[in-house]
Structure 1
Amino acid sequence: MRNKAPRRAKGSPTRIALVEDDPVYRAYLSGLLKNTPEVELVHAWESAEALVADRRFLEVDLLFIDLELPGLSGVELIANLQKLPTPPLCVMLTSSSEPEDVFAAMRSGASGYLVKTADPEIFAERLRQIIQDGVSLSPVIAQMLMNEFRTSAISAADRRSSLRSLTTREREVLSSMARHGNAKEVGAALGLSHETVRVHMKKIYQKLHVKSKEEALEVLAQQKKD
């Protein structure tokens, strides 16, 4: 994630553009930007391909980019823009606040993440933040990233040692997960309902500091190798 204020001469407006395939939201956001002080709306493109074909994007300080664009996705576009000598700041626009979408945007080089449901006042505040500081994240997204950082900081050895905190039943469920495809099959093998299996799986993930069955089984496999 880049954290650098938009490149502009002192006293000049911030040059902003957007890439949004929804014509209604594109018109709405264009209107907001046109009425924002110290902002110059350069253009609004309907796709990543349309932006790349238009040299005006090289004049932009800040780009708002929709996540789910037709053709080249928003994440792919941001990653490609980072290859420029002086890439613009990029803020991801989306209706999704799912962790995987947030992390994909941040890894691609986005400087901010704006959920489309934000009202005009919240949008204006986020815009001021990124013009001033070069980054803008809602409190919810910031907390999500902090949780991810804490989880990723846990070493593989720590995760393996966490296996000792599992109850006997949780270890049975984890071992059965390695042999069966889903919670229903694990439940049938252990004489449990699939709802009960899901409860155990959630506790296993929490104790091992993982987010998926695959990660949990990797921890188990590493312990067996040791």
Structure 2
Amino acid sequence: MGLESGRLAMPANVLSSQFAKPVRTWFVATAKLKQPIRTAIIEDDPALRKMIVSLLQADPDYAVVAEFAEGGAAIAAIPQMALDIALVDIGLPDISGIEVIRELKALCPACNVLVVTTFGDEKTVTSALEAGADGYLLKGIALEELKRDLHALQDGGSPLSPMIARKLLNRLQTKAVVDKSDAGGETSLTPREHEILEMIAKGFSYAETSKICSISAATVHSHLKRIYRKLEVHSKTEAVYEARRRSLIH
């Protein structure tokens, strides 16, 4: 991750394991009436780390208390730091940033974790959020936007890059369509249609079903046609399978 005209850029290389300890620990005065937002940066690119540190040190609302190039060192040190915010990269050289997030949330539940990374695939985003990330930003964001997002995070928001927000919305909308389809299938069958479908699933013929239900075979056939339409199938076998998939029958 390099520098690019005041923006967070893509990584150029991966640092060696020489950063087994915090790169730097900052001792912050706490005598002010308004305490600064205590922040740690977990990022393996030294140039990018320096840029973020400079950005936050120029703002009296923030206090950078530590920098880390590796996740293991952060996990070991951060629980003693009473952090407010941790900025975490996903692609760390020793362990995944997702594991770092999980451990930090377990050790320091009150700490807000903001992911700042190049990884924008759905699997990584979902894993990070499930691990406890409170926000997810893609590198390339302008530095002033990063600072605004940090303020929003501390105020209880969950900042997301637009591309990440779109992916999450698409996922939720897809799930909603499936859930609605399943729920709609269940509520759309009338009691008579449900009864006939149960009979067919048990292997009764049209004639046997009509006799048991005290209706004509033609009426049974008409009900089945409506069932096919509602379940979007074309045969008794498909109807039974789909009904069982939707838990309409056993």
TM bracket, shorter-chain basis: 0.5 to 0.7
* Offset, 1:156: 6.7
The answer on 1:127 being equivalent to 2:184 is no
The structure in which a higher percent of residues are helix is: 1
SS at 1:82's partner residue?
A: helix
Aligned 1:53-92 pairs, distance under 5 A: 53-54=76-77, 58-84=81-107, 86-92=109-115
Find 2:68's aligned residue among 45, 51, 71: 45
Amino acid at match of 2:122: P
Over 3 Å counting, the alpha-carbon distance change for 1:151 and 1:105 in structure 2 is same
SS at match of 2:59: coil
Task: Say if 1:63 and 1:90, in contact at 8 Å, map to a contact too.
Answer: yes
The verdict on how the C-alpha distance between 1:70 and 1:51 changes in structure 2, with shifts beyond 3 A counting, is same
Q: Secondary structure at the match of 1:29?
A: helix
Q: Give the letter for the 1:60 counterpart.
A: L
Please point out which of 104, 110, 134 is paired with 1:111.
134
How much is the aligned-residue C-alpha RMSD, in angstroms? 2.9
Whether 1:33 and 2:83 are equivalent positions in the alignment is no
Instruction: State whether residues 89 and 134 of structure 1, in contact with CA within 8 Å, keep that contact through their aligned partners in structure 2.
Output: no
Identity %: 28
Structure 2 residue ranges without an equivalent (≥5): 1-29, 186-240, 246-250
Q: Report SS of the residue matched to 2:107.
A: coil
Which has the larger displacement, 148-157 or 64-73? 148-157
> Following TM superposition, by how much is the alpha carbon of 1:129 offset from its aligned partner in structure 2, in angstroms?
1.1
Aligned-pair CA distance for 1:25: 1.1
Structure 2: how far apart are the matches of 1:145 and 1:79? 20
Q: Deviations over 1:152-204 (max 9, x none)?
A: 33447937x99xxxxxxxxxxxxxxxxxxxxxxxxxxxxxxxxxxxxxxxxxx
Using a 3 Å threshold, how does the CA distance of structure 1 residues 55 and 146 change in structure 2: closer, same or farther? closer
Aligned equivalents of 1:57 and 1:115: distance in 2? 28
Which segment drifts farther, 138-147 or 64-73? 138-147
Q: How far is 1:59 from its partner?
A: 1.6
Q: Calculate the TM-score normalised by the size of structure 2.
A: 0.56
Partner Cα distance (1:50, 1:85) in 2: 15
Larger relative contact order, structure 1 or 2 (CA cutoff 8 Å, min sep 6): 1
Q: Is the 8 A contact 1:51 1:57 kept in 2?
A: no
Gap change, CA 1:57 and 1:46, over 3 Å in 2: farther
Query: Does the CA contact (< 8 Å) of 1:93 and 1:113 recur in 2?
Result: yes
Q: Size of the alignment, in residue pairs?
A: 160
1:74-223 to 2 correspondences below 5 Å: 74-84=97-107, 86-155=109-178, 158=181
Mean CA deviation greater in 92-101 or 110-119: 92-101
User: 1:145 is matched by which residue type in structure 2?
Assistant: L
Which secondary structure does the structure 1 equivalent of 2:81 belong to? helix
What is the CA–CA distance in structure 2 between the aligned matches of 1:141 and 1:37, rounded to whole Å?
Answer: 30
Provide closer, same or farther for how the CA distance between residues 158 and 62 of structure 1 changes in structure 2, counting only shifts above 3 A.
same
What are the superposed Cα offsets for residues 22-47 of structure 1, whole Å, 9 maximum, x if unpaired? 11111111111111231010011111
Report runs of 4+ in structure 1 exceeding 4 Å deviation: 154-157, 222-226
- From the CA coordinates, give the structure whose radius of gyration is larger: 2
Does the C-alpha gap of structure 1 residues 21 and 91 become closer, same or farther in structure 2, counting only changes over 3 Å?
same
